[in-house]
């Protein structure tokens, strides 16, 4: 008889416990794992600022995502999936903790998860049977990963696969968060006057000299880059680098990959420039009180550039998936594709640094492909990025943590529940450790979406939309006074109050 190693024993034990917990899920997964390793690899791909509203996968008029559509033919596609926040920090922290921003409290720009909650994260939920790999190009997302560095086996720097960067914090590897904040975010700021009037300008000149020597071949509009924490890269280099890393990980592995594209500035390769000369018109919407001065034409131009960049990202995604399939890695891998938040091109607002929580900025893609899955499944029940942690913990053969606010996703062991409230929170101007009084909170329940604005004017206010019948969110139902509006208001305010009481304690 073959002697079982400790890892073999743990794999066997994990699948036994999984069978007890969720027989229907095990059958689904087992169909794709016949003859394969007991524990599947897990690959999580996050595309920064990718809105579901701009993907042809979800019915967008422009063909922006043919490769995601091809991937969807052997995946579960979630059609009403919401981010936890409308910018990187809260949106990413919701994925990493399985909790809403009012709980994890990473609500400010470049903020962090509450220290007492940092041990409760996606990597700890996956467990020690997996080799854990993490890479994010977004420094704000990397601040969060650094909070549980000891639970990650291989953690690449955000500047990996870049052709130029002005990061100095990485020199002090023993405390990346402190060094990045002290040097890159303070001493050598690139988008504001640096703290050091001697070394700051000198560092900037050195970086400009580095940029002047870069080749922009294939990118007539300039190379993709991160403006806040400057790093320049070729999109294909980043995908090739990720592909190479995945090919070297011992199995079973868990990989968490957060790519910067299609975040602005929108810099596709030249073959994707001007591919959408279709005369698209914007749906006319009232200008928001939070408008940033963007004109209708400027928003349309930016939307077109964004769509081109999304198409470029989709092309590289297709190449990555094909390569992983050819290597046999996908034979025993669960692949998750999602985003940390979306992007706005309407109501006088561009981007996602806004108090607004309309669907284009919080409706994000979610596709989950199981090993051996050959048919597409579609789920229309509202779901949240908080649901990824409990779902992946279950896939990894572990108990679902009792501290998560998410639920196991439908078709992956969870049940569809149209009465379940889904929350998104924007509170970047609120103090992280104080009750949320300056915030926007959206609650989705079935097809109804309630938005609560607090702290912007003397009196808070609500907006209510039937996003099933009115997906463009044009008709606010509050003035008509539907009976269910009162019930939804009470539920949202009660949930917010409970969260505020909890943080005070």
Q: Residue 452 and residue 460: Cα distance in Å, rounded?
A: 7
User: Which of 392-395's residues contact partners 24+ apart within 8 Å by CB, and which partners?
Assistant: 392/42, 392/44, 392/122, 392/125, 392/126, 392/254, 392/334, 392/336, 393/125, 393/126, 393/127, 394/18, 394/21, 394/22, 394/25, 395/29, 395/40, 395/42, 395/334
Q: Which two tokens stand for residue 149?
A: 């560095």
Distances (CA, A) of 61 to 312, 347, 426: 17, 20, 29
The DSSP letter of residue 187 is I
Q: Which two tokens stand for residue 32?
A: 């794709």
Strands 333-338 and 41-47: parallel
Q: What is residue 414's three-state secondary structure?
A: strand
pLDDT at 174: 62
Q: Please give the Cα distance from 164 to 456 (Å, whole number).
A: 40
The whole-angstrom separation of Cα 423 and Cα 265 is: 28
**Residue 194 and residue 188 in contact, taking contact as beta carbons nearer than 8 Å:** yes
Closest CA to 127 of 395, 412, 393: 393
In the chain, what is the greatest distance between 2 CA atoms, to the nearest angstrom?
75
Identify whether the C-beta of residue 492 lies closer than 8 Å to the C-beta of residue 443: yes
Domains of the chain and any CATH numbers: 6-163+214-411+420-504 (3.40.720.10)
User: What's the pLDDT score for residue 179?
Assistant: 60
Q: How far apart are CA 300 and CA 377, in angstroms?
A: 33
Residue 169 has a pLDDT of: 61
pLDDT tens string 469-501: 999 999 999 999 999 999 999 999 999 999 999
Count other C-beta atoms under 10 Å from residue 153's C-beta: 15
Is residue 166 within 8 Å of 187, Cβ to Cβ?
A: no
The three-state DSSP-derived secondary structure of 462-485 is EEEEECCCCCCCCCCCHHHCCHHH
Residue 459 has phi, psi (to 5 degrees) of: -115, 135
The model's pTM: 0.89
Can you state the angle between helices 88-97 and 139-146, rounded to 10 degrees? 30
Contact (CB, 8 A) for 370 and 376:
no
Predicted pLDDT of residue 36: 42
CA 170/CA 185 separation, integer angstroms? 12
SS (H, E, C) 215-263: CCCCCCCCCCEECCCCEECCHHHHHHHHHHHHCCCCCCEEEEEEECCCC
Helices (H), 257-387: 296-327, 359-362
**Does residue 87 contact residue 109 with C-beta atoms inside 8 Å?**
yes
State the Cα–Cα distance between residues 437 and 500, nearest whole angstrom: 9
Which mean pLDDT values do the consecutive 10-residue runs of the chain (505 residues) have?
34 38 43 57 98 98 98 98 98 98 96 94 97 97 95 96 79 63 59 60 70 86 90 96 97 98 98 94 94 96 98 98 98 98 98 97 98 97 98 97 97 95 98 96 98 97 98 97 96 97 77
CB 200 within 8 A of CB 186: no
Q: What is the structure's pLDDT at 192?
A: 60
Neighbours of 207 (CB within 10 A): 18
């Amino acid at each position: 008889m073959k002697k079982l190693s400790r890892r073999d024993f743990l794999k066997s034990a994990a699948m036994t416990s999984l069978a007890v917990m969720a027989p229907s899920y095990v059958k689904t997964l087992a169909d794709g794992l016949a003859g394969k390793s007991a524990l599947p690899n897990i690959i999580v791909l996050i595309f920064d600022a990718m809105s579901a509203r701009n993907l042809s996968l979800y019915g967008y008029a422009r063909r922006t995502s043919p490769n995601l559509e091809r991937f969807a033919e052997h995946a579960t596609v979630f059609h009403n999936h919401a981010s936890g926040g409308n910018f990187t920090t809260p949106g990413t922290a919701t994925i990493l903790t399985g909790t809403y921003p009012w709980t994890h409290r990473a609500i400010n720009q470049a903020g962090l998860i509450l220290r007492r909650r940092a041990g409760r994260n996606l990597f700890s939920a996956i467990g020690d049977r997996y080799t854990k790999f993490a890479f994010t190009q977004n420094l704000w997302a990397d601040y969060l990963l650094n909070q549980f560095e000891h639970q990650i086996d291989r953690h690449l720097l955000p500047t990996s696969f870049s052709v130029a960067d002005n990061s100095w914090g990485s020199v002090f590897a023993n405390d990346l968060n402190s060094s990045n904040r002290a040097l890159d975010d303070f001493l050598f700021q690139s988008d504001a006057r640096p703290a050091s009037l001697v070394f700051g300008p000198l560092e900037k000149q050195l970086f400009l000299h580095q940029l002047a020597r870069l080749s922009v071949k294939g990118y007539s509009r300039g190379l993709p880059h991160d403006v806040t924490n400057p790093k320049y890269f070729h999109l294909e280099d980043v995908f090739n680098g990720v592909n190479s890393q995945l090919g070297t990980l011992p199995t079973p592995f868990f990989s968490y990959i957060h790519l910067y594209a299609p975040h602005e500035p929108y810099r596709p390769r030249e073959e994707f420039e001007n591919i959408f000369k279709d005369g698209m018109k914007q749906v006319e919407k009232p200008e928001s009180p939070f408008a940033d001065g963007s004109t209708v034409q400027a928003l349309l131009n930016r939307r077109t550039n964004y769509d081109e960049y999304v198409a470029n990202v989709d092309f590289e995604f297709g190449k990555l998936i094909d390569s992983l399939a050819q290597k046999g890695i996908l034979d025993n891998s669960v692949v998750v594709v999602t985003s940390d938040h979306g992007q706005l091109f309407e109501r006088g607002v561009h981007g996602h640094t806004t108090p607004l929580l309309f669907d284009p900025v919080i409706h994000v893609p979610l596709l989950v492909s199981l090993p051996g899955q050959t048919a597409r499944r579609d789920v229309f029940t509202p779901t949240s990025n908080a649901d990824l942690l409990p779902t992946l913990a279950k896939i990894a053969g572990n108990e679902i943590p009792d501290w998560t606010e998410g639920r196991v996703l439908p078709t992956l062991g969870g049940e569809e529940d149209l009465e379940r409230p889904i929350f998104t929170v924007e509170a970047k101007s609120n103090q992280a450790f104080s009750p949320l009084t300056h915030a926007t909170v959206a609650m989705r329940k079935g097809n109804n979406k309630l938005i609560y604005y607090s702290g912007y004017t003397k009196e808070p206010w609500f907006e209510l939309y039937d996003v099933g019948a009115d997906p463009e969110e044009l008709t606010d139902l509050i003035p008509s006074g539907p009976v269910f509006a009162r019930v939804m208001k009470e539920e949202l305010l009660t949930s917010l109050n409970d969260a505020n009481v909890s943080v005070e304690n």
